[in-house]
């Protein structure tokens, strides 16, 4: 089959790889009909290369049609249309019983000290082949895949794989009081959905911050108040002034480790990437740093006693944090990989009707065939051609 594989920094290629097959009784194999590029895939494209090897299949936002199931999978049958969550969970361990699916004890990558295995996301998370491919083997299929209706375009359902529940969790963790103000840093796909969900769940005011014109315009279309951070000298100060001189009740960081405007962090990440893989892994594990400009801005902008919710991916072990200010101001901080299936039952009714209240069909800006995935990664990373979200068609 054809699949997108990693070969080095900013070097991804569509190669021929072996077809997946049933390996465990709880496996399924799906034929992928749509698979998206996630913002966190760009971390693999740029800074997390030391944890990949040439030929690793990328991608963790797939959906498709069931081709085959193992003998222990009784809830699915060939022909079912499904979305596959990015984290692989058994549904029955101690963590899963508490709906902490991203920490599933059955698939935890304990050798790396990490949580549940993820599709297409490095040796840190199990080196499980990803879904930017024609076919995908799905472990723990007795629980994981989400059955969806036979009707409706793929984009109506595809984002259940990751970014829609990730945004939902970010808003839930932010815990904006009814009628309060929510600020969202970063209007990429997760930020777009976070802003829309924030309004849907009762925030009186939602402010989105970014510097890409197309992202700002998309947010405006959905009734979001926007700030162009490229026009601001003091982003936290501007937010505080804008919201009663005290700041928003809650702030979501939907950017993560590769934020713009953090030159020292960028240099440190680039330096690690120049080392041999073993040395780079050691440096990242023991002394890694992130670009923290957005996280620090979020912590300084939120009102006293407010909450900062982090959905952007971070990986640094030595990140400096303004703890004195956080402690003095009573800031609450919540974060983590999304527990996808925890939120699906709440989200599904919003996708099933005709009104599309979250605007899921107004997110994808580019739909391209899988062979053009290398160009799509470059376009997405460089924010070219108005690119906000890319969906690939195998």
pLDDT tens-digit readout, 178-198: 999 999 999 999 999 999 999
Q: Can you give the residue range of the structural domain that contains 260?
A: 164-335
Q: What one-character DSSP code corresponds to residue 107? A: T
CA 352-58-165 angle, 5° bins: 30
What span, in angstroms and rounded, lies between the C-alpha atoms of 25 and 371? 32
Q: Are residues 367 and 232 in the same domain?
A: no
CATH of the domain at 321: 3.40.50.720
112 CB contacts (<8 Å, ≥6 apart)? Answer: 123, 124, 125
Q: Are residues 306 and 196 in the same domain?
A: yes
275 and 314 share one domain = yes
Instruction: Quote the pLDDT of residue 67.
Output: 98
What angle in degrees, to the nearest 10, is found between the helix axes of 235-242 and 293-301?
A: 30
Q: HSE on the CB side for 93, CA within 13 Å? A: 15
Which pair of structure tokens corresponds to residue 374? 């290398």
Task: Calculate the CA 196 to chain-centre distance.
Answer: 16
Last residue of a domain, one of 312, 335, 358: 335
Task: Kindly state whether residues 42 and 60 are assigned to the same domain.
Answer: yes
CA distances from 391 to 32, 38, 154 (A): 12, 9, 10
Distance in angstroms (rounded) separating the CA atoms of residues 8 and 49: 7
Structure tokens at 249: 């009740």
Closest CA to 196 of 225, 154, 236: 225
170's tokens:
């970010």
For β-strands 28-37 and 135-138, DSSP reports them as antiparallel
> For residue 351, how far is the Cα from the chain centroid?
19
Tokens matching residue 26: 């709880």
How many other CB atoms sit within 10 Å of the CB of residue 353? Answer: 8
> Is the separation of the CB atoms in 392 and 132 below 8 Å?
yes
Of 320, 335, 350, which residue is a domain's last?
335
Same domain, 154 and 199: no
To which residue do tokens 């777009």 refer? 192
Co-location of 146 and 171 in the same domain:
no
Q: Where are the beta strands (DSSP E) in 113-266?
A: 135-138, 146-147, 181-185, 205-210, 225-228, 250-253
Q: Which pLDDT score, from 0 to 100, does residue 99 have? A: 98
Q: Are residues 62 and 183 in the same domain?
A: no
Residue in the structure block whose two tokens are 């990949």: 52
The total number of structural domains in the chain stands at: 2
pLDDT at 257: 82
Q: Round to whole Å and give the CA distance between 284 and 277.
A: 10
CB atoms within 10 A of CB 374: 16
Sign of CA dihedral 244, 246, 250, 255: positive
C-alpha triplet 247, 252, 258: angle, nearest 5°: 120
Cβ–Cβ < 8 Å for 35, 63: yes
Distances in Å between the Cα of 171 and the Cα atoms of 24, 184, 197, 336 are 36, 10, 7, 13
The CATH number that applies at residue 97 is: 3.90.180.10
Kindly give the parts of the chain with pLDDT less than 70: 259-289
Sequence-separated (6 or more) residues with CB below 8 Å from residue 40: 60, 121, 256, 313
Among candidate residues 319, 335, 351, the one where a domain is terminated: 335
């Amino acid at each position: 089959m054809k699949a997108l594989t990693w070969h080095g920094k900013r070097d991804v290629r569509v190669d021929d790889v072996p077809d997946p097959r049933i390996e465990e009784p709880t496996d399924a194999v799906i034929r992928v009909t749509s698979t998206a590029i996630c913002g966190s895939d760009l971390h693999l494209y740029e800074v997390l290369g030391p944890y990949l090897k040439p030929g690793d299949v990328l991608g963790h936002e797939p959906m498709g049609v069931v081709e085959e199931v193992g003998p222990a999978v009784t809830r699915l049958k060939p022909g079912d249309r499904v979305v596959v969550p990015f984290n692989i969970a058994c549904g029955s361990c101690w963590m899963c019983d508490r709906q902490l699916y991203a920490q599933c004890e059955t698939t935890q990558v304990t050798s790396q000290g990490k949580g549940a295995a993820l599709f297409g996301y490095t040796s840190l998370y199990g080196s499980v082949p990803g879904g930017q491919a024609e076919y995908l083997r799905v472990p723990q299929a007795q629980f994981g895949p989400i059955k969806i209706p036979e009707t409706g375009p793929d984009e109506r359902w595809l984002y259940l794989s990751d970014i829609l529940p990730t945004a939902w969790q970010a808003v839930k963790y932010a815990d904006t009081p009814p009628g309060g103000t929510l600020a969202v840093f970063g209007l990429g796909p997760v930020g777009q959905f976070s802003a829309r969900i924030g309004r849907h769940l009762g925030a009186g005011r939602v402010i989105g911050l970014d510097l890409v014109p197309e992202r700002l315009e998309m947010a405006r279309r959905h009734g979001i108040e926007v700030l162009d951070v490229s026009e601001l000298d003091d982003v936290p100060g501007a937010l505080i002034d804008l919201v009663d001189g005290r700041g928003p009740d809650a702030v979501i960081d939907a950017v993560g480790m590769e934020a713009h405007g953090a030159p020292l962090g960028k240099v440190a990440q680039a330096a690690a990437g120049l080392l041999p893989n073993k040395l780079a892994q050691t440096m990242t594990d023991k002394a890694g740093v992130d670009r923290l400009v957005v996280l620090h801005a979020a912590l300084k902008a939120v009102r006293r006693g407010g909450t900062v919710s982090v959905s952007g991916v971070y990986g640094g072990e030595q990140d400096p944090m303004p703890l004195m200010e956080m402690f003095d101001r009573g800031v609450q901080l919540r974060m983590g990989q999304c527990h996808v299936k925890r939120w699906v039952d709440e989200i599904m009714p919003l996708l099933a009707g005709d009104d599309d209240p979250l605007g899921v069909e107004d997110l994808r800006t580019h739909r391209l065939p899988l062979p053009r995935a290398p160009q799509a990664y470059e376009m997405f990373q460089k924010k070219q051609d108005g690119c906000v979200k890319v969906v690939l068609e195998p």
